Amino acid sequence: MVCCNCIRGLIIQAGTLTRRGVQLSDISRSLHTVSSLTYSWKREFKTSIKMMFDTGETAKGGPVIDVLPEKDDDGKCASGGWKSEDGRLSCGYSSIRGKRVSMEDFYDIKTSKIDGRTVCLFGIFDGHGGSRAAEYLKEHLFENLMKHPKFMTDTKLAISETYQQTDADFLDSERDTFRDDGSTASTAVLVDNHLYVANVGDSRTIISRAGKAIPLSEDHKPNRSDERKRIESAGGVVMWAGTWRVGGVLAMSRAFGNRMLKQFVVAEPEIQEQEIDDEFELLVLASDGLWDVVPNDDAVSLARTEEEPEAAARKLTEAAFTRGSADNITCIVVRFHRDSRSATVQRD
């Protein structure tokens, strides 16, 4: 059993070594010792936003429909699908633990009517160093976003502020623990026909337009020239340790959580906007367990072979596993049906 003072000493030592840019092996061993320890944590922290959404109502509109069931306990495999009331939108998801011992991917799909407008939200959250940060995002990010006073009037601003505030809330909720896990977030928010894609980390969102794969997010890697410059300007270092890493530790340059590197690893999202037109066919969001082995063009080609988005999502996760992905693999596929007039709701 390791005492608390020993752990604190390792954290301080690792942070000092990172700032001074000394031997990578010392940094990695120190941080690995901390991250490998398992701690229990309190789940008593609840925000007022969470309490409000327990009623199932938004501040300005109707009930929030959580499309997904609760996450499977074993985390091995889950899939399902949903179709909008007007039949113009359907989605499917598939999530498998893959070759990892534990499951650190989470995902969320919600829909609501706010001010008479249809809102759909899709999110992929890929945890690292533990699952708590990704789980926290599933529980809070979209609820916080829909509570933002400018969500419907300045959606882009609301997304940016909500991402960063939710990161601060997560760090505050974990302040009495020695955990230091983090998470990516790649989200797509559809307000009527206007799409906002926000990204933090190396999960990714792409769209198929007239059969062509178009990335709507760019992975946050430390060796991206603009990201390296930002990190170094803040006093950090980008080092090679099998891949480029912030401080020789983290292989992405933006993330939720990661308290020890927070000065350099921010949760400020990059956001792209698109107006959905008749040429838009599919939206694909996935964790890097997919993108590590399935290029954008392949993902679109595979997804287009399936009419049902749930089948498409399953095909993508299975393809990634078959191609040797060593990570958790989670995927959401959204299909646009422009000629549909169906008014039925389908859930799996």
Question: How many residues comprise the chain?
Answer: 348
Summarised one tens digit per residue, pLDDT across range 199-238 is 999 999 999 998 899 999 999 999 999 999 999 999 999 9
Q: Quick check: pTM over 0.85?
A: no
Backbone phi, psi, residue 24, to 5°:
-60, -40
Summarised one tens digit per residue, pLDDT across range 163-210 is 999 999 999 999 888 889 999 999 999 999 999 999 999 999 999 998
Determine the pLDDT at residue 86.
82
**Residue 148 scores a pLDDT above 80:** yes
Determine the pLDDT at residue 289.
97
- Rounded CA gap, 25 and 325, in Å? 27
Summarised one tens digit per residue, pLDDT across range 259-295 is 999 999 999 999 999 999 999 999 999 999 999 999 9
Residue ranges of domains in the chain, CATH in brackets: 62-220+255-347 (3.60.40.10)
Where residue 65 falls among pLDDT bands split at 50, 70, 90?
Answer: confident
The alpha carbons of the chain give a radius of gyration, in whole angstroms, of 20
**What DSSP string runs through 49-108?**
HHHHHTTTB-SSBSBPEE-SPPPPSS-SEEEEEEE-TTSSEEEEEEEE-TT-SS--EEEE
DSSP character for 306?
Answer: -
Determine the pLDDT at residue 44.
33
Summarised one tens digit per residue, pLDDT across range 1-57 is 444 444 344 443 444 444 444 444 444 433 443 333 333 333 333 333 332 333 345
- Rounded CA gap, 161 and 177, in Å? 25
β-strand pairing of 204-209 with 212-215: antiparallel
Backbone phi, psi, residue 334, to 5°:
-115, 125
- Rounded CA gap, 12 and 105, in Å? 29
Average pLDDT over residues 240-269: 96
Question: What share of the chain has pLDDT > 90, as a percent?
Answer: 70
**Residue 344 scores a pLDDT above 90:** no
CB 208 within 8 A of CB 280: yes
Where residue 139 falls among pLDDT bands split at 50, 70, 90?
Answer: very high
